[in-house]
Amino acid sequence: MNKSFIKVSAPATISNVGCGFDVMGFATNIISDEVTIALSNRKGLSIKKISGDGNKLPYNVETNTCTKAILSVLKSLKLNLGLEVTISKKIGFGSGLGSSAASAVAGAFAINELLGRPFTKYELLNFAIEGERIASQATHADNVAPCLFGGFILIRSYNPIDLIELEPPKNLFCTVIHPQIEIKTSEARKILGRTIPLKAGVAQWGNVGALVAGILSKDINLIGRSVQDEVAEPKRAALIPRYYEIKNAALESGANGCNISGSGPAIFAFSKNENTAWQIGKAMKKVIEKEKIKSKIYVSRINKNGPRVIG
């Protein structure tokens, strides 16, 4: 190792993208979690400090998403180093913006960089998924993969993992509203059930294919028509106050498609320019304010870079 410490940021992500439940997601430029790993004279991995979490995250390295990912890397290499981890949470818990995935990715990416990159990003993916599994209680990479690789990702298969990187239109803007309420991913998954009607499945598959076609052909109108969800949205909408009213406000303000980000409560909408994107955000915020709920509005192009070394 050439350095005694490293600091990394990993971005918030939008998963599912309407029709792509557990198989599609993209990285944003809106906010990022930050993780610092420093060499220590005391053997073993420990958490020195966690900030921005409201004292909610565990200091147990086996049950913290970030350090679990780091441990997975170290165990694979059969290393027992003295390391201290500092975690700065910027992405809200239960926000639908890939908070746990960002911490897991930041941890796995940081230790890999500190050790001189013994693993490729593709190999790091499984270590990050190990960390993410703690929070979601399920194996899915629609937040982890875009966070790690950047860009827009389609997950063709989980066994073995097979990712397809899609190049989105350059003028594709994403508006995100984050109502300041929390929805736990594990709880949001429980309400979905284990089966879907064939009719809903056929509609979902058609939209997934059309969304991919829209991205590849740089057709934002087709992308917008394809951001439909027959599986999660009908059930998760009840968890977000005035969800359909917020969605209609976005569409009436010029959005090319609108849906729930991940498990919610964050909601995303696509558009063709930055000015429209901000107008969409203002319209969405006006609706949620009827419930006396605070919210944050973000506008971003798709982040092509993923995690970054910042110190």
pTM (two decimals): 0.94
Active site residue 195: no
Give yes or no for a cis peptide into 58 (omega within 30° of 0). no
Q: Are 222 and 172 in contact (CB under 8 A)?
A: no
According to DSSP, the residues that pair with 127 across neighbouring strands are: none
Tens of pLDDT along 220-234? 999 999 999 999 999
Cβ neighbours for 209, distance < 8 A, ≥ 6 positions apart: none
Domain residue limits, the chain: 5-167+304-309, 173-300
Tens of pLDDT along 38-54? 999 998 999 999 999 88
Tens of pLDDT along 93-130? 889 999 999 999 999 999 999 999 999 999 999 999 98
How many other CB atoms are found less than 10 A from the CB of residue 259?
24
CATH superfamily of 173-300: GHMP kinase, C-terminal domain (3.30.70.890)
- Could you say which of 13, 28, 36, 185 is catalytic? 185
Sign of the alpha-carbon torsion through 114, 96, 72, 166: negative
CATH class of the domain comprising 5-167+304-309: alpha beta
Active site residue 132: yes
- Could you say which of 34, 130, 132, 233 is catalytic? 132
